[in-house]
Amino acid sequence: MKDMENKIKNQTPDIPESLSVDAMKEKLYAMSEEEKIKRAAGEDVPVFEPEAKASDHKVVSFKRYLYPAVGAAALFLVFGISLMALRNGGMRNSSATKMADSAAPAAEEAMAETDSMAGAESAAEDASKDFSLHASSAASGSMASSAAAAEDTDDSSYDDILAYLEKQEEQLEKMYRIGYDMVNEDDVLEMEESADDVATFESEAPAAASDSAQMFASPAISGEAKSEDRDYSETNVRTEGVMEGDIVKTDGKHLFVYDESTECIRIYLVGEGKIEKKVSQIRLDASIDAGREIYLTEDYLIILGESYDYDKDCEETVIAVYDIRDLENPSLKRILRQDGTYHTSRFTDGCLYTFTDKTVYMDRMRKEDPRTFVPSVDDILVPRSRIKLYPNVALSCYTVITALKPEADSFCDQQAILGGSDLLYVSSDKIYLGDVEFDWENWSRGEQSLLTSFTYNGGKIEESAQGRIPGYLNDDYSLDEKNGHLRLVTTYQENGYTYNALYILDENLQRISVIKRLAEGETIKSARFLGDMAYFVTFRNTDPLFAVDLSDEQDPKITGFLKIPGFSAYLHPFGEGKLLGIGYDTEGSTWNAAIKVTIFDISDPEHIRELDTKVFEEIRRASVLENRNAFYCDPERGLFGFSCALDPSYTSDFIPDQAYYVMFYYDIYESFDERLVEGLGEDSNNMNITRGVRIGDYFYVVVAGQKIVSYNMEYMEKVEEYKE
């Protein structure tokens, strides 16, 4: 260390005292625990990219020696804290991968708004100044050659995967030791080069995509059981026609309720607002430790759960398929398994697509036993040709995807991606995975996200395209596919400042157009794409709602901008020309903030306005903000509902419960009117096991394992309370 200090002092005598090694050490030792945690998450570690001039030899020399010396102390702290999380497939939590929400101070608020709009227009015109958006370097060159290489892959050999993981472990160990041993500059790039060498990609061009519909469930979702003689509500989903699992389902005549407390599914016959009888119940198979969600088709009930395989010493997801053609005697048809904890699933085109996260524990890897570092599907290793390795990632974790037709005895297809996916979006014909990259050269979370698309059709899954965008995506509402093109909004950093941008990408995930530098110093909190319009909310102290016209993909235009206190964390279409926002009434942290609901008038994209807002001071949590499946919305009747939990200080003899299900009615004359308030008990967590379901002219509040309360839809009068 002393030799390195002498080199720095001899070659760069003009180093500021504040950047000296001793000064940096003092700063590190003086850090508070909060600062250490932030640095471990990469929240306050700025990234600089100074331009080095060929003639400025001193600057180049300064960079060469100062970076390792100063970085040694800082990075030792950052990666020493993060090492254990990384080694065990950590940093999966998307909140840990997002950039700092607070960058350098913004200018005066009024000026910031003007500058943001002006900057957005200039950025749209000057695409040459944009971050590069390109296909992965591993996919460059002849696509045909890549396909040929994939065909020649030995499906029984996983040596390259083991070598990749071992190199990753070595790099992580080097990070941990960086405070004591200076790492050779050439070694830093080895991990990235190794990833480039082993990454494989498919060559097929993506199939032409059909138009994506509006982002809310229609009364008839393809593939779900449907009663012909009465209408009913269905699970609120991300993409119309793509079903999602939940704890309560209905076919219009029965309620299917999963009760986690007793680990069983109960089937009730309903009629005219009453539970006529409990038809039967299905106890989870002993191989399932905990159930998660259920799906309902005309002939089958599908249960997804988790268990621990002690033989393989790993978590696995279990899929149980039951034949329910005889509802009084449902029968187990088959059980299938795939490695990894349950992430999510979708049901569409007659197939169930299941996504799991398979963590690799590096200290358990053994070459002679590939099961210690390669995922299995139904106890068979995923073939090497169906495994993708992506460069520039900091996760020793696979995303495992399977396709299953309920009537089949085995999976249709499978894919495993070693590289993780903080974000997953499923359109009507594609699967999109997104993950913030890791910058191995600078040993930090990168400034861009890797996007990968897969086509799916009839249970067949194929990689389609890959590209990069600056920054990170908030959630799967931040991107949307239409006519095969992807529209998305992202939060990124540029020159130390936080901005937001809207991109339109083609089927190869290459940029068509962009609007940049929106809402300086703020981050995206919610988004909703509706046809040719995009709406998104950014937040720092107030809630700017942007409206963007996407009808001309080459030249998208910001048409409207509205600023109100707090912010909407969830947006949902609420009839023609209206947008419902649910979020927090806050000027800063959402901790203990009151819930608010807002109706926006979006009938005129150039003049969006707030029609009404109501703040519920007593409500601190809303299920819709934690799980979209818990949201009930009926714009035709002017109704929406969700379960919620109260601020404990509001509990009294007059307000005995801690959780409630609330139904609101809205019209322009009556504003927000509470039509239904059903107590859920003293346990606030009952909010999570409650759903609202409409069957015909009756509404059922289902508290899984406890009670089912029915109401007449016309007057919201209680009809019956059925207790389990």
pLDDT average per 10 residues of sequence, the chain (724 residues): 44 47 51 50 38 37 41 44 46 41 36 41 41 38 34 73 87 66 43 40 34 33 43 96 98 97 96 96 92 96 95 92 97 97 96 96 92 95 94 81 97 91 92 87 78 96 95 96 97 94 98 96 96 94 86 96 90 96 80 89 94 92 97 96 88 74 88 93 94 97 98 96 94
Main-chain dihedrals φ then ψ at residue 440, nearest 5 degrees: -70, -25
What is the per-residue pLDDT for 105?
A: 35
CB atoms under 10 Å from CB of 13, counted, come to 8
Among 234, 266, 228, 407, smallest CA distance to 334 is for 407
pTM for the full predicted model: 0.77
What is the per-residue pLDDT for 214?
A: 33
In this structure, which amino acid lies at residue 558?
Answer: I
Answer yes or no: are the C-beta atoms of 596 and 614 closer than 8 Å: yes
Answer yes or no: are the C-beta atoms of 343 and 424 closer than 8 Å: yes
DSSP, collapsed to helix, strand or coil, labels residue 64 as helix
Distance, in Å, from the CA atom of 653 to the CA atom of 636, rounded to the nearest integer, reads: 37
Residues 6 or more apart in contact with residue 159 via CB below 8 angstroms: 367
Strand pairing report for 387-389 and 413-418: parallel
Q: For helices 57-87 and 21-29, what crossing angle results, to 10°? A: 30
Cα angle 588-594-596, degrees, rounded to a multiple of 5: 100
* 443-479 as b/e: b if 16+ CB within 10 A: bbbbbbbbbbbbbbeebebbbbbbbbbbbbbbbbbbb
Cα Dmax for the chain = 88
Q: Is 550 exposed, middle or buried (0-12, 13-18, 19+ CB in 10 A)?
A: buried
Record the tokens describing residue 327, joined without a space.
């509802």
Answer yes or no: are the C-beta atoms of 675 and 664 closer than 8 Å: yes
CB atoms under 10 Å from CB of 222, counted, come to 15
Among 387, 246, 338, smallest CA distance to 704 is for 246
Distance, in Å, from the CA atom of 486 to the CA atom of 505, rounded to the nearest integer, reads: 5
Record the tokens describing residue 63, joined without a space.
């960079």
Name 489's bridge partners: 502
Answer yes or no: are the C-beta atoms of 230 and 221 closer than 8 Å: no
What is the per-residue pLDDT for 434?
A: 92
Among 359, 343, 450, smallest CA distance to 401 is for 343
In this structure, which amino acid lies at residue 99?
Answer: M
CA dihedral 552, 558, 560, 565 (to 10 degrees): 140
Distance, in Å, from the CA atom of 675 to the CA atom of 664, rounded to the nearest integer, reads: 5
Answer yes or no: are the C-beta atoms of 492 and 194 closer than 8 Å: no
DSSP, collapsed to helix, strand or coil, labels residue 579 as strand
Record the tokens describing residue 160, joined without a space.
């390259």
First to last CA, the chain: 70
Record the tokens describing residue 348, joined without a space.
């569409």
Distance, in Å, from the CA atom of 638 to the CA atom of 675, rounded to the nearest integer, reads: 11
What is the per-residue pLDDT for 445?
A: 73
